[in-house]
Amino acid sequence: MMKRELGNERVRISDIAEELGLSTATVSNVIHGKTKKISAETVKRVQEQVEKSGYIPSMAGILLAQNNSRIIGIVVNDHPKYEGRVLEDAFIAASVNALSKEIDLAGYFMMIKVTTQWDEIVRFASMWNMEGLVIIGFCEQDYKKLRDAMHIPFVVYDGYFQETPKICNLTIDNYDGGYQVGNYLKQMGHKKILCLSDNFTCMDSERINGCADAMGDILVHFMQIPIRKKERMQFYQDREGKILEYTAVFAVSDFYAIELIYYLQGKGVQIPEDISVIGFDDSPLCSYCIPALTTVKQDAAARAKNAVAILQNLKAGTEEHIIVKSPVKLVKRKSVKKLLYRR
């Protein structure tokens, strides 16, 4: 009889081996499908006892033993601007949600790691024998170090680096998104535009430059806001009068756009009657804030589908694309007012 009763303690491989008078190695090999050197009779005995005992195998052990983990890792940079809540950010959450669906459809498992250190990514991937990685939010030198330190395929969301073999950069047309914003504001009669971001590099600079180019000879101004929320609130308070001199604000993320709307409404400012606001990303909150936020939509589902397909192709050695740029689309809602006169 088994010494461990079902329902009380988990049955182990050693329990099955003891019951059958076999070595744990033999039982383990049968469970993991390594039966070439094991007799058919022994395989049958082990399989019957496994079923009878209610043994629950460790999936991690089986997958690692087969040298085919079927695990895709998602690594997100825990940048200080997220203040320890990176997975709550609307863009990150939408990206991870879309990746989860595509990874599951492709028959893989997903594991997530939040870190600021590139070398932790190497240990993470190696520990779990990962099939591939999707990396979000790191910088150029980190990607190059990762490429030199590990051999599994990985794709990058919104990376800014020169084309590098075996690294695929999945980005969006940030410049065109900004251009669509500027063109729309111009059509709506706006003559004085303010752009808000916590930096003027990479994707944010592309969005702002696109907006400025679309406005033509109409001057577009830029304010760099603090990364920390407490400091941003003080920033808005100190510059409230200056901000309200503009007819429209283009915040380079929905988060900053909605936060600004919330702040201004708390001060009695009406949106869009007193000032118009546009965001970027089209996160779910855009439809629920009041007024509903005009923004630029990027397709998280399409990017996730590309990510999984490209990882598979990179592993097979058939992927040729180094940069994949997806289109974006302006979504018009209620946060922009049409001006019939110069303000």
Q: What is residue 88's predicted lDDT score, i.e. its pLDDT?
A: 92
Mean pLDDT score of the chain = 88
| Banded pLDDT at 2 (limits 50, 70, 90) | very low
Please list the residue range(s) of the chain that carry CATH number 3.40.50.2300: 71-172+300-326, 174-297
Residue type, 109: F
| Least-confidence region, from 118-127, 185-194, 196-205, 252-261 | 118-127
Q: What is residue 5's predicted lDDT score, i.e. its pLDDT?
A: 43
Residue type, 332: K
* For range 67-89, the mean pLDDT: 88
| Banded pLDDT at 59 (limits 50, 70, 90) | low
What's the farthest any 2 CA atoms get from each other in the chain? 91
Are residues 30 and 68 in contact, defined by beta-carbon separation less than 8 angstroms?
no
Q: What is residue 96's predicted lDDT score, i.e. its pLDDT?
A: 96
Q: How confident is the model over 108-122, as pLDDT tens digits?
A: 999 999 999 888 888
Count of helix runs (H) and strand runs (E) in the chain: 13, 12
* For range 209-228, the mean pLDDT: 95
The answer, yes or no, to whether residue 67 has pLDDT greater than 80, is no
| Banded pLDDT at 68 (limits 50, 70, 90) | low
Q: What is residue 114's predicted lDDT score, i.e. its pLDDT?
A: 95
The domain made up of 13-57 has a fold known as: 434 Repressor (Amino-terminal Domain) (1.10.260)
Residue type, 107: G
Strand partners, 251: 196
Which pair of structure tokens corresponds to residue 20? Answer: 């059958």
Helix or strand or coil: residue 331? strand
Q: What gap in Å lies between CA 89 and CA 104, rounded to an integer?
A: 22
Q: What is residue 274's predicted lDDT score, i.e. its pLDDT?
A: 97
* For range 72-99, the mean pLDDT: 93
Inter-residue long-range contacts of 221-227, CB under 8 Å, 24+ positions, other chains counted:
221/192, 221/193, 221/194, 221/195, 221/246, 222/194, 222/195, 222/196, 222/197, 223/194, 223/195, 223/196, 224/197, 224/198, 224/199, 224/200, 225/196, 225/197, 225/198, 225/256, 226/198, 227/80, 227/81, 227/198
CATH dotted code for 174-297: 3.40.50.2300
- For 30, 205, 322, the CA distances from 12, given in Å and listed in that order, are 14, 57, 47
* For range 314-336, the mean pLDDT: 88
CATH class of 71-172+300-326: alpha beta
- Please tell me the pTM assigned to this model: 0.79
